[in-house]
Chain A
Amino acid sequence: MTSENDSSRENDGQVFNRLPATAAERDDEGRATREEVVEWWVDRFGLDPETFENYTFWEKGAGKVWAFASDLESPADVEGLGMTFLRTRQEHWKPTTDAVQRFGREATKNVVVLDADDARAFLRGADTDPEWDGDWGYLIAAHDIAGGVEPIGVGLYLYDELRSQMPKGRQREL
């Protein structure tokens, strides 16, 4: 058991390693902490931090963070754990489409609501030019449907343009 614990200190891309709670508990300098990833979502999208109270966060591969509604022993040698949540170990952290669709409905800022044509274009993977006076960077792209605003995916807003980040496999022509 001791040797397994030792090896988990370096980032092993084959298994899931639970994120340390805070920087003080961190063995791997590059690894994000639980505190940092929750703070990032709260700061960026105005979510209630309690949203993630019962979640554990895990890294598999370089920088790919997963959110899991339960807990396992770390490291966990399994094929999947909860859902992909956030891309770290890069200058600008990037939320995933899955996480934006799952948690983005509660967002109170950095949500750009697209009209019907732009929403369809965004889903196709096309760039759009919506009205937006807010921050640049990663936004939640959403639209009005069935009486409410629903997140579609992640958009990168730069130079007055919203670049759709819909993954190839999730793009659709409606």
Chain B
Amino acid sequence: MDPLARYDSLVDDSAAFHAACERPLPSVVRVNDIKATPDRVRRAFDEAGIDYEGVGWHDGLFRLAEDVKPGNTWPFVHGWVYGQEEVSAVPALAVDPQPGERVLDCCAAPGSKTTQLAALMDDRGLLVGNDNNLGRLSALRSNAERCGVSNLVVTRADARNFSLKPFSGEPFDRTLVDVPCSCEGTVRKNPDAVDDWSLDHIEGIAGVQKAILGRSLEVTREGGTVVYSTCTFAPEENEAVLQYALEEYDCRLVEYDLDLDHVPGITEWDGDTYDESMTRAKRIYPHHNDTGGFFCAKLEVGA
């Protein structure tokens, strides 16, 4: 049985949901504003005869024609663009970092969202990109360097025990918590993403997610912003993790704007009920916008 069938009761149109999950995903690039503008990237693609189209909700994202390998184009060589799934551009926008602020990306590698945060900060202020895996950190560093990011500190730590010591003990203004997850929403890119699906795995990884979100709330200042995101549908990894944070920490869910079709977070699942404010979180299903699947919630610390 298809493990994704467990979400049929959540989606508005389960046939469209399953059909979208079967289709391959278009290749998308994000314009890196540190080095280029959408206009200049468009012009470079035109000069090179590369077919692309814009997306309605974001002027710096381009869907490329099927035969285009973005890594083999001048705009990529110059660090003007970054290959990034369309929905994965959502959480950095929800973080909404400002130039000059102190921002943490606690599960940063390989860096699509980190480099997007840097660009939103106009490459000014302090951005910390943390990960615990040395190989993935090396990818993060090389991606950040290609994008010309110069405000990034790279650290290696388990995000459950992230230390403020190198940062004079000062908390962050904003933290992105894009946790490791069961990746059900990436099934269009990796058809085998749900092959080894098990509830045990989901419950195990949810424990890690709770600890990472908890530590992130501790290292973010009062009144600061924490954005929690996954690329999975499982409520155990989404609303249930947020419910834990609401119960154990001084924080609340807040609204944010998103010009992409989505539905609210849920308040009931499998016999459990969640806080009413869970509807401020956003669920994006693959059939909504012809993208991957995603979950994203914005929290305010204390206050």
Chain A interface (Cβ < 8 Å from any Cβ of B): 54-55, 67-70, 72-73, 76-84, 98, 101-102, 123, 145-148, 150, 152, 169-170, 172-174
Q: Within 8 Å CB of A146, what residues of B?
A: 40-41, 43-44, 47
Please tell me if the beta carbons of A101 and B148 are within 8 angstroms of each other in the complex: yes
- 8 further contact pairs, Cβ within 8 A, besides A79-B155, A82-B152: A78-B166, A79-B141, A81-B154, A83-B144, A84-B145, A101-B146, A146-B41, A170-B77
Please tell me if the beta carbons of B142 and A123 are within 8 angstroms of each other in the complex: no
Q: Does B137 contact A (CB under 8 A)?
A: yes
B133 CB to closest chain A CB, in angstroms? 11
A66 CB to closest chain B CB, in angstroms? 9
- With A and B bound together, what is the CA distance between A147 and B146 in angstroms? 21
A to B CB contacts below 8 Å, 25 in the list: A54-B124, A68-B150, A68-B153, A72-B166, A72-B167, A72-B168, A78-B155, A79-B155, A80-B144, A80-B154, A81-B153, A82-B153, A98-B145, A101-B146, A102-B34, A123-B77, A145-B47, A146-B41, A146-B43, A147-B43, A152-B77, A170-B77, A172-B72, A174-B73, A174-B77
Q: Given A72-B153, A101-B35, check contact A77 B166 (CB 8 Å).
A: yes
A151 CB to closest chain B CB, in angstroms? 8
B141 CB to closest chain A CB, in angstroms? 5
Please tell me if the beta carbons of A55 and B150 are within 8 angstroms of each other in the complex: yes
Q: Given A77-B166, A102-B35, A150-B78, check contact A83 B47 (CB 8 Å).
A: no
Q: Within 8 Å CB of B124, what residues of A?
A: 54, 69-70
Please tell me if the beta carbons of B148 and A145 are within 8 angstroms of each other in the complex: no
Please tell me if the beta carbons of B150 and A73 are within 8 angstroms of each other in the complex: no
Q: Within 8 Å CB of A68, what residues of B?
A: 150-151, 153
Q: Does B201 contact A (CB under 8 A)?
A: no
Please tell me if the beta carbons of A174 and B72 are within 8 angstroms of each other in the complex: yes
A59 CB to closest chain B CB, in angstroms? 16
Cβ-closest chain A residue relative to B47: A146
Cβ-closest chain B residue relative to A153: B77
Interface size in chain B (residues, C-beta < 8 A): 37
Q: Does B58 contact A (CB under 8 A)?
A: no
Q: Which of A69, A79, A98 contacts B146 (CB 8 A)?
A: A98
Q: Which of B34, B44, B153 has the most CB of A within 10 A?
A: B153
Q: Given A69-B123, A169-B142, check contact A98 B78 (CB 8 Å).
A: no
A39 CB to closest chain B CB, in angstroms? 19
- With A and B bound together, what is the CA distance between A150 and B43 in angstroms? 14
Q: Does B74 contact A (CB under 8 A)?
A: yes
Q: Within 8 Å CB of B154, what residues of A?
A: 78-81
Please tell me if the beta carbons of B166 and A79 are within 8 angstroms of each other in the complex: no
- With A and B bound together, what is the CA distance between A146 and B142 in angstroms? 25
Please tell me if the beta carbons of B151 and A70 are within 8 angstroms of each other in the complex: yes
Cβ-closest chain A residue relative to B102: A70
Q: Given A73-B168, A174-B72, A174-B73, check contact A80 B44 (CB 8 Å).
A: no
Q: Given A101-B79, A146-B47, check contact A78 B153 (CB 8 Å).
A: yes
Q: Sort A-B residue pairs by CB-CB distance and give the 4 closest, nearest first.
A: A80-B154, A69-B151, A102-B148, A146-B43
- With A and B bound together, what is the CA distance between A171 and B142 in angstroms? 13
Q: Given A72-B167, A146-B40, A174-B73, check contact A83 B145 (CB 8 Å).
A: yes
Q: Does B126 contact A (CB under 8 A)?
A: yes
Q: Which of B40, B74, B150, B166 contacts A102 (CB 8 A)?
A: B150
B236 CB to closest chain A CB, in angstroms? 32
Please tell me if the beta carbons of B149 and A83 are within 8 angstroms of each other in the complex: yes
Please tell me if the beta carbons of B149 and A145 are within 8 angstroms of each other in the complex: no
Please tell me if the beta carbons of B125 and A145 are within 8 angstroms of each other in the complex: no
